[in-house]
A and B are shown apart, each in its own frame.
Chain A
Amino acid sequence: MKSEQGSSLAKDAWMRLRSNRMALLSLFILGFILLFSFLGPELCHFQYDEQNLESQFLPPDKNHWFGTDNLGRDLFARTSFGGRISLAVGMLATLVSLVIGVTYGMISGYVGGKVDAFMMRFVDILYSLPFTIFVILLMVLFGRNFYLLFLAIGAVEWLTMARITRAQTLHLKGAEFIEAARALGFKDARILFHHILPNLLGPIIVYATLTVPAVMLLEAVLSFLGLGVQAPMASWGSLIKEGAEKMDVAPWLLIFPGFFFCLCLFCLNFIGDGLRDALDPKSSKD
């Protein structure tokens, strides 16, 4: 019993994560992507917004490592700079939606009854409201604040998370070990966070890793409405969107940002799987 106290659980988890080679490799690669995004612009002798109208649509070469775009801007600089925005938005907004969604879903499922009905109808309402208009109103009320981006994304992305968590919680609520915990007189909060939450981790982590790409692409949609990054800045989402339109003219415009986007998602996915296994309450004795 002692070996399963909080602090050593985390230590165990870290040990297990470390022994998962794919997860470890992914962590390294993700670190590399982070470095690329934050140091890349320094390494490159072009600015992300530096135009050279004489060298449009150049394929990758010694000078422009990733080629150039329609205004002769260096794609390496743009991709690495775009990574900052995409990574920040992807991670932060997912984290926010994770925290809200999981807490909300667990409470709704665990308390049940009228509270559950009320909370879930609230989710239904939020699902239905027109997102475009919502975003436009946000900007009218608060101006074109960059942080609104997180609010707008958070407002939609936590909903499905909450419903998934609630369903799992309802499912677990009847399990013997929860009943046992309740019979032992543990407080609800303790049961929720110590007993139910660890058993929800699988689907939650997977859904969270699925949310990251959704958020990164949503960011590109929001920039259409004028929220978030403004030209000439770019994000992976907007670069991929532009690249997709020109893929037969200049395929590198899609390939490079797309590669980093995919690489990042693969890493997050393996880290997610690794984390899930590492935090798995059952595997502690396997």
Chain B
Amino acid sequence: MKSFFISRLLQTIPTLLIIATLTFFMTRFAPGGPFDSEKAIPEEIKVNLESHFGLNLPLFDQYLLYMKNLLAGDLGPSFKYVGWDVSELIGVAFPVSLGLGVSALLIALFVGLPAGMVAALRKNTLWDYLPMGLAMVGICLPTFVLGPILIMIFSTKLNLLPALGWYSWSDLILPSLTLGLFYAAYIARLTRAGMLETLKQDYVRTARAKGASPSRVVIKHALRGGLLPVVTFLGPAFAGLVSGSFIIESIFFIPGLGKFFVTAAFNRDYTMVLGTVLFYATLIIALNLLVDFLQAWLDPKAREQR
């Protein structure tokens, strides 16, 4: 297990370098630059402007310089938010997205897991149809529909919760509900499917035949195996959640990371694109590693196979 961990960590470094390289060249080949605007600027002014950020150097030199700084832990200055460093901006926005993402995930898990389990155990009864029906509604209501609906009910009509902003605890409720219910629906459906699949696997049946207590069967065997798809889904989903959601952030005016992911690309804020991509990549890789560990824990057999 230890060697597995070490080899995965070693794989991370080249993976991140490949991502950085690909992203660097992808952003540069996209049309337009960070200082293009509707009012045309004379070429010599543009050159001066770009030279402040080293954009006048040959592309490959820029790449080498970027990689050198990157290895020293410097993500460079943002081109869009002039006067701010990329790491400074990510550092401010990440805690916001982390808070929102974790509370959304908690909602998703607290709602989604029990609903999926109950539905699987009581397949084809009301306890199956009701939560699954609700889950389907959750999937049908994308965040850009659910968010405004919740605001209309709780803020505009009932005047109970703030419609936007990120100042007090009450600002957390509507956005994390909007985001969480959507993921809850996914988790519920995946849990049900995974549990149904394992409940009829031979080892579960064997355990039952051997006379293991029902709760032991459910918790030790069915749940463990049944959670596999959920856990796998949660890796990237969690990375997505804590790195912010552009839609939620624009609906609720939350200063999270999601906005940087989208607008950095639109603004051709090269360093910001790279910064956010590398940040996200690190998250994804770390979480997928965690997921693989969890899978091994949930599924001792697969562990032996490695």
Residues of A bordering B, CB below 8 Å: 112-113, 117, 120-121, 124-125, 127-130, 132-134, 136-137, 140, 159-160, 163-164, 166-168, 170-171, 173-177, 199, 202-203, 205-207, 209-210, 213, 217, 240-241, 244-245, 247-248, 254, 258, 261-262, 265-266, 269, 276, 280, 282-283
Contact = CB atoms under 8 A, between A and B. Distances in A.
A274 to B, nearest CB: 12
Interface of B: 7-8, 11, 15, 18-19, 22-23, 26-27, 29-31, 132, 136-137, 139-140, 142, 144-145, 148-149, 152, 186, 189-190, 192-194, 196-197, 200-203, 225, 228-229, 231-233, 235-236, 239, 261-262, 265-266, 273, 276-278, 280-281, 284-285, 288, 291, 295, 299, 301-302, 304-306
A130 B27 contact: yes
Nearest to B206: A176
Nearest to B298: A171
A137 B29 CA distance: 7
A112 B152 CA distance: 51
B305 A129 contact: no
A245 B151 CA distance: 12
14 contacts: A120-B288, A124-B281, A136-B30, A164-B233, A167-B228, A167-B232, A167-B291, A167-B295, A171-B301, A174-B304, A210-B189, A213-B140, A280-B200, A282-B200
A254 B145 contact: yes
A8 B306 CA distance: 36
Contacts of A209: 189
Contact of A213 (B139, B203, B276, B299): B139
A33 to B, nearest CB: 14
A171 B29 contact: no
Given A202-B196, A202-B197, A258-B145, A132 B266 contact: yes
Contacts of A176: 202
Contacts of A164: 229, 232-233
B80 to A, nearest CB: 14
B253 to A, nearest CB: 16
Contact of B27 (A133, A205, A254): A133
Given A174-B305, A175-B203, 5 more contacts: A137-B29, A166-B232, A167-B229, A244-B148, A247-B152
A199 B203 CA distance: 14
Given A164-B229, A171-B299, A129 B19 contact: yes
A213 B27 CA distance: 29
A28 B22 CA distance: 47
B202 A128 contact: no
B136 A269 contact: yes
B228 A171 contact: yes
A133 B27 CA distance: 6
A240 B266 contact: no
A31 to B, nearest CB: 19
Q: Most chain-B CB neighbours within 10 Å: which of A130, A140, A176, A247?
A: A130
